[in-house]
Chain A
Amino acid sequence: MPILQVNDLKKTYTTRFGGQQVHALTKVNFSVEAGEYVAIMGESGSGKTTLLNILAALDKPTSGKVLLDGKDIVTIRERDIAAFRRDHLGFVFQDFNLLDTFSVKDNILLPLVLAGRTYPEMERRLKPLAAHLGIEELLGKYPYEISGGQQQRVAVARALITEPRIVLADEPTGALDSKATDSLLRLFSQLNAEGQTILMVTHSTKAASHAGRVLFIRDGEVFHQIYRGMSTPEEMYQKISDTLTLLASGGEGRA
């Protein structure tokens, strides 16, 4: 059974004035197997962010289903959603979203604190994770004292500390320089190799080229997908570029 299954997802916004309807997602279908590393690509306005928000249970679809481990997250009651998100999902954002009011350590522990875990358990989880991500020396510092690349690693640690079923990453390399980007993508590949399921939304070809599968979204639906198979990241990069060119020139591909 797939870890995540998206069936006929549709999202329609109504503009505040005039009541015009905007179709952000028209019909989205795809699934993610356990241990997969999936990238979703698309241009600005293609519905990527809307899709991710729905997957993250931050937004509700107009119709359709999102099944996580076979359970429809659309039907989860409002007051259980936060706990659900906390326990099953990990988030990595473009602008890191670390809180300046907390030290690095407290930022990582935040989800556990919200989940009401005991302090010894927090410590037990934090130590190996921080060592794994190479951020042990940063724990006592504050977000404004460390570099962007380091902040994103901290954000990854925060996403992983709850041992989520799936990590949702929204343009995780968007605010990083090329060196930090490489380092983060290596980290994602490594985590995936260790069995972590990752779903990443990006419009960076380079970021997507590290994924095992790339979905392309256009006009609110999944337009095409590429499997890595045995390709190297370089070959994958080329395939993605070709697809993007096709997309831009308006070709009629189908997944």
Chain B
Amino acid sequence: MRKSLYPRLAAQSIRNNRRFFVPYILSLMGNVAAFYIMSALVSDPGVQDMTPGHSNGYYYVQMMMSMGMFIAFAFSIIFVFYINGFLMKQRKRELGLYNILGMGKNHIAALMLLEGLYVGVIGIVGGLAVGMLLHKLVTLLLYRALDFAVPLGFYISWSGLAETAILFAGLIAATVLVNLVKVQVSRPIELLRGGSVGEREPKTRWLLTLLGIVTLGGGYYIAVRTSSGVEAIALYFVAVFLVIIGTYCLFTAVSVFILKALRRNKKFYYRTGPFISVSGMLYRMKQNAVGLANICILCTMVMVMISGTLSLWLGTEDISQRLYPSDLQIRVRYFLDEEDPFNASVMLADAESYINSEGVAITGERTMTTIKFGVGLDDAGVFHTNTRAEGIVSSYSLDVLTAAVYTDLTGETVSLQPDEVMVYGTDLTTLEFRWDDRDTGEENYPATTFQVVGHLQESPWFSPQISNQLCLVVADESVLTELYQAQLAAYGEKNASFLEWYAYLDLDCSDEECQRLTEDYWEGDKTDYGAGRWEYMSWNSSGQGRSELYGLAGGFLFLGLFLGFIFLMATVLIIYYKQISEGYEDKRRFEIMQKVGLSREEVRTAIRSQVLMVFFLPIVVAAIHIAFDFNMVEKLLTLFYLHDTTLTALCTLGTLLVFFLVYGVVYLLTARTYYKIVER
């Protein structure tokens, strides 16, 4: 054969199979573009320059983009292999025909090599081009999300281009290699028949059905029962893992089980609609179950990512206001030291004089002392410092405020006796604390009991939480000190919590000025000016804190949207290929049925109901997953200080709604292709 034949044959073959190749190449381009953009963002010097005050925001973004690159590429591997496998299955017949018409296996190999080369070159070069163009747009969006100033200019990351090209070229080469091996070991007659191997009806698989019910139920149970952020992060991947397994079982085995039960109901089954759709679904489940489960899991991931990151980002303003209620926060941790006690007023005076000496006026000032330590609640309603004691059902982090601070924070005056408290986070009317040792279990300090005189609906004091917050408002500092001593005895010197002193200062200056103040403060010697002994001190400007928060939340949102987009693209493509392959299979079925007396109208109805079912089953299941997952996501978000259930719920609903719409549009578009194939 002439040498120039192969390039032409390969191009011809791609053109003839454009129905399969075009979406494949387009999605490859999408993956390449997305990967390049993330890689370019990691190295873009503009991101660093634009970060206000050179805070950590930039590093968060970089870190997250690196993580995103990893996920995106791992996903690309799965995705490209899936599509390639599908393509090969559809094309077996064509390749078998070439083989029988006298093309040797080496010739076919050459053909496939060239095809791979074409696909790879178009996909990668095109993807990089798209990536370079979109990079600027994406940067603008990212900066908007991060609340950064937008840089000018057009940046091309050469290292990003090289990295992307090499990785994806390797990926395409791997698929070509797999195809070559497949062709090499196959026999022509198998290739020729490849497309139409009769699928048998799937058997009911009891074990898988049972496993599906158990894993799904287990995953849901964990998700619903999770009561704190720490628990959520510890169990999240367990729950996700269980639900993924459950989803696969659900689609592969439970579906068959249900369909067979439907078929046994003769009165229901022997009617036109159910007769066609139940038998069709049953027959179809074997090869489609995994595809549907994939779609379902992808949809779930997209929705969880987007709704979670979106609510985090939307909540950032609120979080930053609560975390940084004033322009400047000074925080000091200290032990009660008999010889050289910490003196808050000296420290505050020092800070004030420093700020005034810099020429900045202080417009507002508030201070408070608090303590925070962990306790466990047992099944008898008693709190223990030994959270490993028998019978502990949940753990809390306890914040203690004085009545005076409570008045400061809320504006409400209260008067409490030393044994009376107001409490947030529990319904108990009597609070008993046992100060038991975490190692020996012995009580190191006499138990303390408080009468609850008021249950607070909202936490008066916002503090970073990793478990359920229990907030006590006690009579005065002496009760606070008493509790400090008790937990000191229980936890021991090494593990006990510090007392914490906060000063919130409002300053008459810009964010940048304020930031500079906090940085310059550390230039002098801060150990010996008569404020006594303390262990730790920090100065935080709200501008810096806010920018870090936005760096984190904006980075997450960006990543969520970005990966969400990639996953959505994959979902769309899988659906598209599914429609095509099913269209070809259903064509014959519907032809036969028309011959034995199914009208065109009935054919259309049957097709519609079947396509709708196959199409919307995954997303309905995904929506159920989301519903169960909601509690867990909400708890996870508390790790990022977000405690706004309404916001999270709205974001989840909004995401669900938008996703359903997008999905519906995809459905309409791909269903057309399907109808065209079936009805022709």
**Residues of A with Cβ closer than 8 Å to B?**
56, 58, 78-79, 81-83, 85-87, 91, 93, 97-102, 106, 109-111, 113-116, 119, 122, 142, 144, 158, 162
Q: Which of B198, B275, B280, B599: most chain A CB closer than 10 A?
A: B599
Q: A101-B589, A106-B279, A113-B271 are in contact. Are A142 and B596 (CB under 8 A)?
A: no
Considering the complex, give the chain A residue whose CB is closest to the CB of B199. A100
B280, B283, B598: most-surrounded residue (chain A CB, <10 A): B598
Partner of A102, one of B279, B594, B597, B599: B279
Bound CA–CA A116/B596 (angstroms): 14
Neighbouring A residues of B275 by C-beta, 8 Å: 106, 110, 113
A101-B283, A113-B270, A122-B270 in contact; A56/B595 too (CB < 8 A)? yes
The interface residues of chain A lying within 8 Å CB-to-CB of B200 are: 142, 144
> Is the CB–CB distance between B597 and A82 below 8 Å?
yes
B600 within 8 A of A: yes
23 contacts between A and B (CB under 8 A): A79-B599, A82-B597, A82-B599, A82-B602, A83-B599, A86-B597, A91-B595, A97-B595, A98-B592, A99-B593, A100-B198, A101-B282, A102-B279, A110-B275, A111-B596, A113-B271, A113-B272, A114-B272, A114-B593, A114-B597, A116-B271, A119-B266, A158-B596
Q: Give CA–CA (A113, B280) in the complex, Å.
A: 15
Give the residue name and chain of the B residue nearest to A93 (CB).
B595
Q: Which A residue sits closest to B273, measured CB to CB? A: A113
Is A116 a contact partner of B280 (Cβ separation < 8 A)? Answer: no
Distance in angstroms between the alpha carbons of A100 and B270 in the assembled complex: 17
With the chains together, A113 CA to B198 CA distance in Å?
25
Residue ID in chain A nearest B590 by CB atoms: A99
Chain A residues closer than 8 Å to B599, beta-carbon distance: 79, 81-83
Contacts of B493 in A (CB 8 A): none
When A110-B593, A119-B270, A144-B198 are in contact, do A101 and B598 touch as well, CB less than 8 Å? no
CA distance A78 to B201 in the complex (A): 35
B201 to A: closest C-beta gap in Å: 7
Say yes or no: is B3 at the interface (Cβ < 8 Å to chain A): no
Q: Which residues of A contact B266 (CB under 8 A)?
A: 119
B523: chain A residues at CB < 8 Å are none
Q: Is the CB of A85 within 8 A of B198?
A: no
The answer to whether A83 and B272 have CB atoms under 8 Å apart is no
Shortest Cβ distance from B283 into A: residue: A101
Closest partner residue, chain A, to B596 (CB atom): A111
Residue of B nearest to A144 (CB): B198
Does B267 have its Cβ within 8 Å of any Cβ on chain A? yes
Question: When the two chains form the complex, which single residue of A56, A97, A116 contacts B592, counting CB atoms closer than 8 Å?
Answer: A97
A82 & B279 in contact (Cβ 8 Å cutoff)? no
Chain B residue with Cβ nearest A122: B270
Query: B601 in the interface, Cβ–Cβ < 8 Å?
Result: yes
List of A residues within 8 angstroms of B596 by Cβ: 85-86, 91, 97, 110-111, 114, 158
Taking the closest CB of chain B, its distance from the CB of A102, in whole angstroms, is: 5
The residues of A that contact B267 with a CB separation of less than 8 Å are 119
Query: Please, how many angstroms separate the alpha-carbon atoms of A87 and B599 in the complex?
Result: 13
Beyond A113-B272, A144-B200, is A78–B593 a contact (Cβ under 8 Å)?
no
Q: Are B597 and A111 in contact (CB under 8 A)?
A: yes
From known contacts A99-B589, A119-B270, A122-B270, infer whether A114 and B595 are also in contact, taking CB-CB under 8 Å: no
User: In the complex the two chains form, what is the Cα distance from A79 to B597 in whole Å?
Assistant: 11
Alpha-carbon gap, A118 to B544, bound state (A): 76
Report Cα–Cα, A78/B280, bound state, in Å.
Answer: 26
Q: Which residues of B contact A91 (CB under 8 A)?
A: 595-596
User: Could you tell me which residues of chain B, from 272 to 290, have a CB within 8 Å of some CB in chain A?
Assistant: 272, 275, 279-280, 282-283
A115 CA to B597 CA, complexed, in Å: 8
Give the docked Cα–Cα distance between A110 and B602 (Å): 14
CB-nearest residue of chain A to B266: A119
Contacts A114-B272, A114-B596 given; 12 further ones with Cβ under 8 A?
A79-B599, A83-B599, A93-B595, A97-B592, A97-B596, A101-B280, A101-B282, A113-B270, A114-B598, A116-B271, A122-B270, A162-B597
Please report the C-alpha to C-alpha distance between residue A111 and residue B272 in the assembled complex, in whole angstroms: 9
Residues of B within 8 A of A115 (CB): 597
Query: What chain B residues lie within 8 Å of A82 (beta carbons)?
Result: 594, 597-600, 602
The smallest beta-carbon distance between A46 and chain B, in angstroms, is: 22
Q: Which residue of B lies closest to A143 (CB)?
A: B198
Interchain nearest-CB distance for B611 vs A (Å) = 16
Question: A87 contacts which chain B residues (CB < 8 A)?
Answer: 597
Give the complex CA separation of A102 and B275 in angstroms.
9
Chain B 238-267 against A: per-residue CB contact (8 Å), 1 yes, 0 no? 000000000000000000000000000011
- Residues of B within 8 Å of A110, CB to CB, are 275, 593, 596
Most interface-central of B597, B598, B602 (chain A CB within 10 A) = B597
Taking a contact as CB atoms under 8 Å apart, the answer to whether A78 and B600 are in contact is yes
The 8 A-B residue pairs whose C-beta atoms are closest, nearest first, are A86-B597, A82-B599, A101-B283, A101-B279, A97-B592, A119-B270, A113-B275, A144-B198
Complex interface: chain A residues within 8 A of B592 (CB):
97-99
For A97, give the chain B residue with the smallest CB separation.
B592
B278's nearest neighbour on chain A, judged by CB, is: A101
A158, B593: Cα distance in complex, Å: 12
Residues A142 and B597 in contact, CB atoms below 8 Å apart: no
A52 CB → nearest B CB, Å: 11
Measured between beta carbons, the chain B residues less than 8 angstroms from A102 are 279
Could you say which residues of chain B place their CB within 8 Å of the CB of A162?
597
How far does the alpha carbon of A86 sit from the alpha carbon of B593 in the complex, in Å?
10
What's the least CB distance linking A155 to chain B, in Å? Answer: 10
Smallest CB separation, B262 vs chain A (Å): 13
A85 with B279: in contact, given A99-B592, A100-B198 (CB under 8 Å)?
no
B595 and A100 form a contact (CB under 8 A): no
- What residue in chain B is nearest A81 (Cβ atoms)? B599
Closest to A158 in B: B596
Q: Whose C-beta in chain B lies nearest to the C-beta of A162?
A: B597
Most chain A beta-carbon neighbours within 10 Å: one of B283, B592, B593, B594: B592
Distance A119 CA – B266 CA, assembled complex (angstroms): 7
Which residues of the partner chain A approach B201 to less than 8 Å between Cβ atoms? 101, 142
Q: Give Cα distance in the complex from A106 to B595, angstroms.
A: 16
What's the minimum C-beta distance from A76 to chain B, rounded to whole angstroms? 12
Please, which residue of chain B has its CB at the minimum distance from the CB of A145?
B200
In the bound assembly, the distance between CA atoms of A97 and B590 in angstroms comes to: 11
Which chain B residues lie closer than 8 Å to A58 at the CB level?
A: 594-595
Compute how far the CA of A110 lies from the CA of B270 in the bound complex, rounded to whole angstroms: 9
Residue numbers in A under 8 Å from B270 (CB-CB): 109, 113, 119, 122
Query: Cβ of A78: which chain B residues have Cβ within 8 Å of it?
Result: 600
Which residues of A sit under 8 angstroms from B271, Cβ to Cβ?
113, 116
By a CB distance below 8 angstroms, the chain A residues around B282 are 101
Residues of B contacting A122 with CB < 8 Å?
270
Contact partners of A79 in chain B: CB under 8 A? 599, 601
The CA of A142 and the CA of B201, in the complex, are separated in Å by 9
Give complex CA distance A110, B595 in Å. Answer: 11
Mask: chain B, 401-442; 1 = CB below 8 Å from A; 0 = not:
000000000000000000000000000000000000000000
In the docked arrangement, what's the CA distance between A115 and B201, Å? 26
Q: Which of A81, A114, A142 has most B Cβ within 10 Å?
A: A114
Distance, CA A179 to CA B275, complexed state (A) = 34
